[in-house]
A and B are shown apart, each in its own frame.
Chain A
Amino acid sequence: MPTIEHNGSSFTVDEDGFLTGNMDAWNETWVDYVKTVEGITEMTDEHHKVIEILRDYYKKNGIAPMVRILSKTTGFPLKRIYELFPSGPGKGACKMAGLPKPTGCV
């Protein structure tokens, strides 16, 4: 597994740059790192809101929420989520939130 060094912290990731292992490795340095690779210029409260909701949902349910549920809980339409995270809710937001890589027929 490759390792990523950023601002003094190191993270173990898979080929697609998703955090591996449990979610405890996640911290603000990780968020700052993902920002640089997922086309996000500046972190806003809206970014943090999406991440917080993703992490809460994952902790409670053990899976990432469906896109529709993410839109409903955050109040952001899908369009806004792509404005915030250009790679979309899966590759962008879930990666930044430290959730496991989305799977299935993608």
Chain B
Amino acid sequence: MPKHDTPLLDELEKGPWPSFVTDLKRQAEKKPECFDILGQLELSYRDKVTHWKHGGIVGVFGYGGGIVGRYSDVPTQFPGVAHFHTVRLNQPSSMFYSSAKLRDICNLWEKYGSGMTNMHGSTGDLVLLGTTTPNLEPLFYDLTHDLNQDLGGSGSNLRTPSCCLGRARCEWGCYDTQNLCHSLTMHYQDEIHRPAFPYKFKMKFSGCPNDCVAAIARSDFAVIGTWRDDIRIDQAAVKGYLSGEFIPNAGAHSDKDWGKFDIKAEVLDLCPTGCMWMEGDTLKIDNSECTRCMHCLNVMPRALRPGLQQGATICVGAKAPILDGAQFATMTVPFIEVNPDTEFAEIIEVIEKIWDWWMEVGKNRERVGETIMRIGLPTFLKVMEITPTPQHVKEPRSNPYVFWQEDEVEGGWDRDVIAYRKRNAQ
């Protein structure tokens, strides 16, 4: 495959940020189809339109997803991308790798694919970009037999779960996100590989409300770590921050002079509930009023730690705008223990209650967040066997269109208009 002239793309080799164009040109020396990737992209830059055809259904036997089919609409011009399927590999929790594993994956991908990847897709998968249909089964065979590595999810199913790096290297991890992510991924292999849902369903696991995998925005089922006892305060370390020995926010703002650390301005006055105060140089927190927003911990990580009674909050129903508008996840379970000793049975129970309901009542291509909107949060909570609490809403409804169950109203709904007329003549 010949090189193509790419004057527009060549512009993107300038500047300090790592250039994907330079990388692709380097890869093209080994895998000439990458010249055609560049050629077709250059054409798209000129035409301002994509040159991939609509859709594509390819896969491996036994699975209903995992591979995204793609065909060029200019295959004679760019034969190297006539087939250009994307293979999703299930990534290890938090994406820790050994160079040996990555080398194995690269060798395999240079054998069967373009050598181009996406590290990683937004859902978390290690994405192998560009191969042909006949290569799919041999690639899958080697992946599973030699690399002990499976595909990720695609289609109307459970997509590849992902998590923040959690306790692997963060002092705020309120549960072992990696263990939960890995365990549920293994537990739900069938749901990942064989689409059985009304639409896609995603899970993400964050160790604390900083939410480093954006679970609340990008997963139908978000498990976000928290605690329910008191923030642990190391008063000596608080003094360290006051004296300037420790830098606030672990030095995150040291590229600019923000002046001397001012605990009142930077912590106490920014606390969303105003539940913190100083007595001399002792920091006090009224934990009953704390919403665990993480701000004070983020500013003074050496002095403040999450409490010891740790667990998670489960929020349900986040989605992108299509069809009914974007949604963040709705708080559903305020606090749940994340218990590896029960193999996370409590969390699995919550998931299955959602699925049982959504698989029954969810319409075709309706995300669970839209099902909740359509049918209502009260019904959803009833299905979940959760007693509604004030924490389930940001504010009570302002309209008076309140539904009652018939058995909640004395006398029920069967009324006799003749009896009414006896009391109220026309």
Mark A residues whose CB is within 8 Å of B. 15-16, 18, 39, 63, 66-68, 78-79, 82, 86-91, 95, 101-106
Most central of B53, B196, B359 by chain A CB within 10 Å: B196
Q: Cβ of B364: which chain A residues have Cβ within 8 Å of it?
A: 63, 66
A106 and B61 in contact (CB under 8 A), knowing A66-B364, A67-B196? no
Most central of A66, A68, A79, A106 by chain B CB within 10 Å: A106
Bound Cα distance from A18 to B58, whole angstroms: 11
B64 contact from A39, A68, A91, A105, Cβ within 8 A: A91
Q: Interface readout for B356-378 with A: 1 if CB under 8 Å, 0 if not?
A: 00010000110000000000000
Q: Cβ of A101: which chain B residues have Cβ within 8 Å of it?
A: 55, 57
Mark B residues whose CB is within 8 Å of A. 53-59, 61-65, 68-69, 71, 83, 154-156, 190, 194-198, 200, 359, 364-365
A15 and B53 in contact (CB under 8 A), knowing A88-B195, A104-B365, A106-B154? yes
Other A-B contacts than A88-B195, A106-B57, A106-B68, 19 sampled, CB-CB below 8 A, are A15-B56, A15-B71, A16-B58, A39-B61, A66-B364, A82-B62, A82-B194, A86-B61, A88-B59, A88-B63, A88-B194, A90-B64, A91-B57, A101-B55, A102-B57, A105-B154, A105-B155, A106-B65, A106-B155
Total A-B Cβ pairs within 8 A: 64
Bound Cα distance from A70 to B254, whole angstroms: 60
A78 contact from B54, B71, B194, Cβ within 8 A: B194
Closest to B365 in A: A104
Q: Cβ of B55: which chain A residues have Cβ within 8 Å of it?
A: 101-103, 106
Bound Cα distance from A88 to B364, whole angstroms: 18
List 21 A-B pairs, Cβ < 8 Å. A15-B71, A16-B56, A39-B61, A67-B156, A67-B197, A68-B196, A82-B64, A86-B61, A88-B63, A88-B194, A89-B64, A90-B57, A90-B195, A91-B59, A91-B64, A101-B57, A103-B55, A104-B365, A105-B154, A105-B155, A106-B55
Bound Cα distance from A16 to B53, whole angstroms: 12
Chain A facing B: main interface SS: loop
Bound Cα distance from A18 to B71, whole angstroms: 14
Q: Cβ of B71: which chain A residues have Cβ within 8 Å of it?
A: 15
Q: Cβ of A102: which chain B residues have Cβ within 8 Å of it?
A: 55, 57
Q: Cβ of A88: which chain B residues have Cβ within 8 Å of it?
A: 59, 63-64, 194-195
Bound Cα distance from A95 to B155, whole angstroms: 17
Q: Cβ of A105: which chain B residues have Cβ within 8 Å of it?
A: 154-155, 200
Q: Cβ of B359: which chain A residues have Cβ within 8 Å of it?
A: 68
Closest to A68 in B: B359
Bound Cα distance from A13 to B195, whole angstroms: 24
Q: Cβ of B69: which chain A residues have Cβ within 8 Å of it?
A: 15-16
Whether B59 lies near A66 (C-beta < 8 A) is no
A4 to chain B, nearest CB (A): 14
Whether B198 lies near A68 (C-beta < 8 A) is yes
Bound Cα distance from A89 to B53, whole angstroms: 23
B261 to chain A, nearest CB (A): 48
B9 to chain A, nearest CB (A): 26
Closest to B198 in A: A66
Whether B62 lies near A86 (C-beta < 8 A) is yes
Closest to B57 in A: A16
